[in-house]
Amino acid sequence: MKPQIPWWQRPGIRISGGLVLLILLGGAVTGIYFTQIPPEQPIPFPHNFHVGVGADCTYCHTGAATGPSAGLPSTNKCWGCHEQIEPRNDNLKLVASYGSEGKPIPWVPVAIMPEFVMFNHRPHVTAGVTCETCHGDVAKMTTAEPQNGMNMGWCLDCHKKSSTPEDFVRLSDCATCHY
């Protein structure tokens, strides 16, 4: 009688099993790598520097406390400071070229929900949820980095934790978040 080799120890199977594992791992690694890396922006805007010198988040994202969207600063807001700053490196020259012509800077969105989701900053900021809770430690970033896992389960989890059972009825109602 021929000795039976268990199926998982047969050479062909071992090699293809190894390949599948490699591909899966590779996918996981590149998946994480790509989702957390910020997209290339027209100017490598340094959040860390500007927040470090005292600019509040809401100085630039003025809508966050008062309305549904936080909004991005206009070129004029940059130019208000940068007109006085000597453009002595390439990044400062880029700011000057948009600023002196008042051209809008084509920023690439980073934190964005599908169109069928209704998100409103105001109730969150009013309830004292900090920007960092949802967007990560932006004060330490250059350009904003996308955050993993901003999905429906994430919204509902926090709504459940931060509300009374009566309020959770409203905060988990489909119509609260979907048109």
Residue 88 corresponds to which tokens in the numbers above? 């002595």
CB of 152 to ligand HEC, least distance (A): 3
Kindly state the helix (H) or strand (E) to which residue 95 belongs, with its residue range.
helix 90-101
Amino acid at site 38: P
Smaller CB separation from ligand HEC, 18 or 42: 42
CB of 140 to ligand HEC, least distance (A): 9
CB of 32 to ligand HEC, least distance (A): 18
What is the b/e burial string over 87-119, where b = at least 16 CB atoms within 10 angstroms of the residue's CB? Answer: eeeeeeebbbebbeeeeebeeeeeeeeeeeeee
Smaller CB separation from ligand HEC, 4 or 86: 86
Smaller CB separation from ligand HEC, 30 or 69: 69
CB of 74 to ligand HEC, least distance (A): 8
Residue 44 corresponds to which tokens in the numbers above? 């490598």
Smaller CB separation from ligand HEC, 91 or 100: 91
